[in-house]
Each structure stands twice: as structure tokens, then as C-alpha cells.
Amino acid sequence: MRRALALFAGLCLRVLPLGGVLGCGVLEAPVARQVDGVTSEGRFIEPGAYAFYAIAALHEARGQWREALQLYERALDIDGRGPELRTRIGAVACKLREPKLADSAFAAAARVAPDYGPLWFELAQCRKSRADLPGALVAALEAVRLDPERHEASLLAADLAELRGDRALAWQLRDGLATHAPGSLVAQRGLLAAAERNRDGVRAARARAAISDLRVRASSVEPTRGAAEAVSALQRGDLTLAKAEAARLLGADPTNGDALLLALTVADLEQDHASFDALLEHSSESASAASPELLGTLAALLARRVSLDAARLVQPAAAH
């Protein structure tokens, strides 16, 4: 953590005078997005706040929690409307063992947006770190209810249920996830780890087979064609397909720089901060540079949908 995040953070800082572009909140309020064929609107975050958010995420990923907290708080001074920054402040304060600040931040986030799934996921992790397993499980189950597509929430809830001795609930959650998300490498790897920990040979074999199948299917996608399909989906505004193509490419090759850039672009367009940070957190140190062809295509896309200034940040030649 990562060359990609350093790039995005640097772009954010350099672009502040321009009013905000890729990695700093590219769309004007409200943000329209298409997910699973449904168009919805989301909150736009002020460019200055998003820049501090990006830098804070870099510090947080490096374990520099005090620095991250200070930057998240500066971002909150600029844009205090939503739950995102308060959630990150709560999560970092918990890591710093500042329970009063953490509780205050989480409570404030819940007052602003009680239906914000990442809030409950972070609250669950915080409570788990304090050995409050009952409270952690309640929060994790709420995270699952609000954001069933975040597979880490189901895995966390299952682990918490197991720690509390409720193996039936734990495997109900895991088996449900296996059925709901058979194509998710994150889910299948979590299921494999749980099965091996519990010495469940049948479930472990099933997860290994699923992982192997997913890798074979992912590797069958020709990288250039997959990237082209993702860009085409972005041009149509179909973020669901673009995200799926990028995820498939990353599954086949976690060092694929084109796939990482596409996935980050989708997360930014959705202002999905949790996914944006997770992508950077798990990106490979040896990730390849994005290809000139993809940079050119994305620059053209940004020039049409955002501005020439946005395009220049991806590819300086786009200015000409």
C-alpha cells in the first residue's frame, strides 16, 4: 500500500484547485449510479474532504492511526453531512483505544444515516476488539441485513456467532453466503478458512473446488477483451457490469494494473469508500502499470463525462 493509493492521494492533492476529479469525487451532486439495472442517487462528497479522506486512508492502511484520525477530522470539518467520515473516525479511534471518541463517532454516524451498512460493520469489529461479543454480533447482523453484498460482513457475523458458541447460526450464515455468492473469491476463501478451522472436510473440499473453478473461469477471460468490456460498460453507465469484469480480471491476476484501475474507477464513481479502500488495501505490491491503451480510453471517457482537467490527470496527453 501501496503505489495505487499514493497515486490517488497525490492526484487529489494536486487537483484541489480544479474543483475535484477522479479519486476526489468525480460527479456533481447528486451522484447517479446504476447497480443491478436500478438507477439511484447518492451523496456527493466535497472535493477537499475527499482529498483528506484519501490521504487519511493511506495512513490508516499503514497503521498510522493517529495521523489518519487527524486527517479524517479535517475532512469532517469540510464536509460533515454524511456518515462516511464519522464511521472512519470511529474505526480509527477504536484502534487507538479511545472508546469515548469511537462511541461518539459511531453514534453520530448512526444519527445521520442508520441504514449505512459500513457503519455497522466497523462497529462490529470495534466491539469485537473490546471483547463485547454480544454487541459485536448484533452490529454484524445489522451490517449483513443492510448490505448483504458485502460478503465480509457475513463472514464476520458467522465468526462472531461461532465465538459465542452458536455454531448453527455460524454455518447458516456461511452456507447462505456460499449459495448467494458462489462466484465470490472473497466469500469462498472465507468459507475455506472456516471449514479448515473447524476440520470440516466436506465444506473445505467444496470451497477448494469452488475456488479452483473460479480461477479457471477467470483465467479464461482474455485480459484485453475483459478490460474493453469493462470500459464499454462504464461508457454506458452500467457500473454493475464494469465492476464484475474488473473483479473477474483481478481474480485471474491480482497484479493486473488495468483491472485495478478499472475497479478503483467504478468504486469512485459509486463513491463506495469501503470498496475503494479495500481494493487498495489488498492490491499487490507488484501490480503492473496500467496500459497506455486503457489510460487513453479512460481519459477520453473522463473528458466526455467529467472534464478535460479530469482527463489530464489520467493521461496528460488528453489535454491536446
255: DSSP letter = T
The whole-number average pLDDT for the span 230-235 is 78
Confidence grade of residue 10 (pLDDT, cut at 50, 70, 90): very low
Q: Average pLDDT of 198-202? A: 92
Decide if pLDDT at 269 tops 90: no
| Residues 245/262, Cβ–Cβ less than 8 Å | yes
First to last CA, the chain: 32
pLDDT of residue 81: 76
Residue 40 class from Cβ within 10 Å (0-12 exposed, 13-18 middle, 19+ buried)?
Answer: exposed
Distance CA 162, CA 166 (A): 5
Query: What is the model's pLDDT at position 196?
Result: 94
Q: Determine which of 4-8, 57-61, 120-124, 295-299 has the lowest per-residue pLDDT on average.
A: 4-8
Q: How far apart are CA 103 and CA 261, in angstroms?
A: 35
Q: Write 201-208 long-range contacts (CB < 8 A, 24+).
A: 203/174, 206/178, 207/178
What the block records as the C-alpha cell of 41 is 442517487
Residue 162 has pLDDT above 90, yes or no: yes
30 vs 118, more confident? 118
pLDDT exceeds cutoff 90 at 212: no
- Spatial distance between the Cα atoms of 244 and 201, rounded to a whole number of angstroms: 30
Q: Are 85 and 121 in contact (CB under 8 A)?
A: no
Q: pLDDT (tens digit, 9 = 90+) per residue, 48-107?
A: 666 677 677 767 767 888 998 998 998 888 877 788 889 999 999 999 999 999 999 999
**Higher-pLDDT residue of 101, 178:** 101
Local confidence band at 245 (pLDDT 50, 70, 90 cut-offs): confident
**51 vs 221, which has greater pLDDT?**
51
Contact between 43 and 113 under an 8 Å Cβ cutoff? The reply is no
pLDDT band for 315, please (50, 70, 90 cuts): low
Indicate if the pLDDT at residue 283 is higher than 80. no
Helix or strand or coil: residue 306?
A: coil
Cβ atoms < 10 Å from Cβ of 168: 9
The residue assigned the cell 476526489 is: 24
DSSP character for 46? P
Predicted pLDDT of residue 142: 97
Q: Mapping DSSP to helix (H, G, I), strand (E, B) and coil, where does residue 32 land?
A: strand
**Residues 6 or more apart from 86 whose CB is under 8 A from it?**
76, 105, 106, 108, 109, 112, 119
Q: Quick one: pLDDT at residue 43?
A: 53
Nearest alpha carbon to residue 268 among 309, 300, 298? 298
> What ranges in 63-150 are assigned the alpha helix state H?
65-78, 84-95, 99-112, 117-129, 133-146
Q: What gap in Å lies between CA 173 and CA 95, rounded to an integer?
A: 27
Please tell me which of 1-10, 179-188, 278-287, 301-310 the model is most confident about, judged by mean pLDDT: 179-188
Residue 264's pLDDT band (cuts 50, 70, 90):
confident
The residue ranking higher by pLDDT, 268 or 158, is 158
